[in-house]
Structure 1
């Protein structure tokens, strides 16, 4: 099987990370999936092993050292994907990235063959999920909803509804990704996606 890079985008509350975790736990037979760990400028959460949390100065140093193959800013935070997270592409594995909607066009330009997936949900579902997280005020939740509704999905992205249970959405994502003809994922970019996209 040829190597693949899967790039999921969508508004907060759409369930991108849950879908990626589901996919890793339910891989097709004889397929290796690697969920790329993001480096993010936010405080570390005790007891979790998800994103790599760094402060702004550490992120800037990594950026200066060309440690990232992708990086972007969103909602006041800086995100990066370290080069080592793409190692599976060299050994016919699949790499899954939870990315940024604004960064998607640059990722598609730099990685022809990338599988883009835009995860979405209705405004009511997004509002319910965001409120349940209790991370933001009602005003901040509504601001996120306005941004989500104003964003146009890429015409090249598979549009995946995640209004219902995770199993149903996960099965549709799995069917879409692994029923396609597999295209090698190579890069045209001479740099490491070093341009800042907000």
Structure 2
């Protein structure tokens, strides 16, 4: 059986990668999935494998990805090897697009979604601080922030406006209620 998969989703600037790193650091059974993106490898931000559009299309044609999608003018892929070769009992954390959740649900048993939210001021501050987007790109991302918030029994919605440790605590309690201190 492949590793259990937990998608971390939310609008740009909500802190998905920061939260994922903190979750993995707090629980040795969790580890991060490294995505393939048609973005230059030196673009900064998350750890990812940057490829050209031609290389990405070749990998899709070879069947290298278990999931792939396009967003914000880029292509994103989750290599099968990042999911299939994980030890039994581990949890794979992956930054997914909200648009691909139904396909992920159909593909993975035990799939869960952590849907992060934040107020528009927080998102704007974080997007501006990372320095990857122009002001127009930031405005477009902010306009999509509330778009298509995931629904379903597998979704845990967490507001990430506060301290990171509070967010991690809320996620941990939601994922593992039996660990909660009574």
Query: Which position in structure 2 is the counterpart of 1:196?
Result: none
Tell me: CA distance 1:66–1:9, structure 2 relative to 1, closer, same or farther (3 Å): same
- SS of aligned partner of 1:13: coil
- Report the aligned-residue RMSD: 2.3
Distance in 2 separating the partners of 1:105 and 1:87 = 19
Tell me: CA distance 1:155–1:48, structure 2 relative to 1, closer, same or farther (3 Å): closer
Deviates more, 1:168-177 or 1:40-49: 40-49
Runs of at least 4 residues of structure 1 off by over 4 A? 46-49
Distance in 2 separating the partners of 1:151 and 1:127 = 19
Query: Which position in structure 1 is the counterpart of 2:157?
Result: 159
Q: Which runs of 5+ in 2 are unaligned?
A: none
Q: TM-score, normalised by structure 1?
A: 0.81
Query: Which position in structure 1 is the counterpart of 2:101?
Result: 104
Q: TM-score, normalised by structure 2?
A: 0.88
Distance in 2 separating the partners of 1:115 and 1:37 = 18
Query: Which position in structure 2 is the counterpart of 1:11?
Result: 11
Deviation track 1:127-171 (CA, whole Å, cap 9, x = no partner) reads 111111222222221211111123333233111100011111011
Query: Which position in structure 1 is the counterpart of 2:25?
Result: 25
Distance in 1 separating the partners of 2:46 and 2:74 = 19
- Asked if 1 retains the 8 angstrom alpha-carbon contact of 2:3 and 2:83, the reply is no
Q: Give the C-alpha shift of residue 46 in structure 1.
A: 7.8
Q: Give the C-alpha shift of residue 176 in structure 1.
A: 1.6
- Asked if 2 retains the 8 angstrom alpha-carbon contact of 1:35 and 1:96, the reply is yes
Number of equivalences: 177
| 1:148 and 2:161 matched | no
- Asked if 2 retains the 8 angstrom alpha-carbon contact of 1:4 and 1:89, the reply is no
Q: Give the C-alpha shift of residue 179 in structure 1.
A: 2.8
